[in-house]
Amino acid sequence: MQIITSITDMQSHADSLRKAGKRIGFVPTMGFLHEGHLSLMRRARQENDVVAASIFVNPTQFGPKEDLDRYPRDAEGDRKKCESTGVDILFTPAAAEMYSERPSVFVNVEGISDILEGAIRPGHFRGVATVVAKLFNIVKPCKAYFGQKDFQQCAVIKRMVAGLNLDVEVIVLPTVREADGLAMSSRNSYLDTEQRRKSACLYRALTAGEELIKNGVREPETIKQKMRAVLVQEKGIEVDYVEVADPDRLTPLETAEGRMVLLVAARLGSTRLIDNLLIL
């Protein structure tokens, strides 16, 4: 596995691969890799000639009071995981090269970036869209892989790709879960034992909502009340939102019919957890 840190080195390597007719599959990450990331890398391995992954804890997607400074890191462990999953190129740029001291160019996907997570984390999706656009221009992939766990992020990125006519196919793969249903996330490492036990209630809330829908309940308010009730059964859970939404626009549905996504966001102590369930 080749480790590349410089942007121009990555770009010229990507150029020569593309000239040689190689298809690059790309998995952008912020590191502290888990099975969710590895499942993306494995799929990229199956579908492309060359697999590139990036590890970059992107400062522009963190709010001023968020966890940028304490975001978990494990450079050596991540390197080994990438290597054993068949990654060919690991791109690990420095923040100082990715951004000038006062970055002034951003990608803003309007509307969808301002609701749900975007309403609670203003500027978050501007940071995500900006760094993903930059990474696409640096790594030059044919296909890029993202986890469904960050459902709104995937929707923002798909819209950005369509809106800017980027020549990249965005592939979203299912959420990988722990045995009790908790969606894998690097931030789960913040949870203490008791919080970790309680955190499974997000998935329980989603499946309780799904069950109502399967039983013919069509009133989103009833479904949301049930999901909330499951969440607050665990003491110490603070619910940020529960939603029954259109899976493309992420706007609330008036009737729970057809394709939809159930979304939850909650806090346990200082840790925010999000999850979702797509109902087709």
Report strand pairing: 271-279 vs 260-268. antiparallel
110-129 positions binding ligand PAF, by CB under 6 A: 128
Instruction: State how far the Cα of 111 lies from the Cα of 99, in Å rounded to an integer.
Output: 25
Edge to edge, the sheet with strand 89-91 lists 2-4, 89-91, 50-55, 24-29, 143-147, 169-173
Segment contacting ligand PAF by CB under 6 A, of 24-32, 193-201, 212-220, 268-276: 24-32
Q: How far is the CB of 217 from ligand PAF (least distance, A)?
A: 32
CB nearer ligand PAF, residue 169 or residue 211: 169
Rank residues 29 and 148 by Cβ distance to ligand PAF and give the closer one.
29
* Pairwise CA distance, residues 153 & 256, whole Å: 22
28 lies in the binding site for ligand PAF (CB under 6 A): yes
Query: Residue 201 pairs with which residues in a beta bridge?
Result: none
Question: Shortest distance, CB of residue 44 to ligand PAF, whole angstroms?
Answer: 14
Q: Pick the closer one to ligand PAF by CB: 24 or 231.
A: 24
Place of tokens 């793969």: 173
Catalytic, out of 13, 34, 37, 124: 37
Residue 144 CB, nearest approach to ligand PAF (Å): 9
> Which of these segments, 25-33, 95-103, 205-213, 229-237, binds ligand PAF (CB under 6 A)?
25-33
Is 206 a binding residue for ligand PAF by CB under 6 A? The answer is no
Q: Which two structure tokens, joined as six digits, stand for 219? A: 């009133």
- Please identify which residue in the block is written with the tokens 């790709």: 161
Identified binder of ligand PAF from the candidate list 117, 150, 243, 275, rule CB under 6 A? 150
- Shortest CB 133 distance to ligand PAF, Å: 10
Q: Check binding of 93 to ligand PAF (CB under 6 A).
A: no
Our finding on whether 61 is near ligand PAF (CB under 6 A) is yes
Cβ at position 211, least distance to ligand PAF in Å: 29
- For the range 93-97, what are the long-range contacts, defined as Cβ-Cβ under 8 Å and sequence gap of 24 or more? 93/5, 93/6, 93/7, 93/10, 93/54, 93/56, 93/138, 94/5, 95/56, 95/57, 95/59, 97/6, 97/7
In the three-class reduction of DSSP (H, G, I as helix; E, B as strand; rest coil), residue 151 is classed as helix
- Determine whether 37 is an active site residue: yes
d(CA 147, CA 30): 13
User: Number of residues in contact with ligand PAF, rule: CB under 6 A?
Assistant: 10
Does 58 interact with ligand PAF (rule: CB under 6 A)? yes
**Residue with the two structure tokens 């640096």:** 138
Q: Could you give the 3-state DSSP secondary structure of residue 39?
A: helix
Question: Which positions touch ligand PAF (CB under 6 A)?
Answer: 28-30, 58, 61, 128, 131-132, 150, 153
Catalytic sites, residue numbers: 37
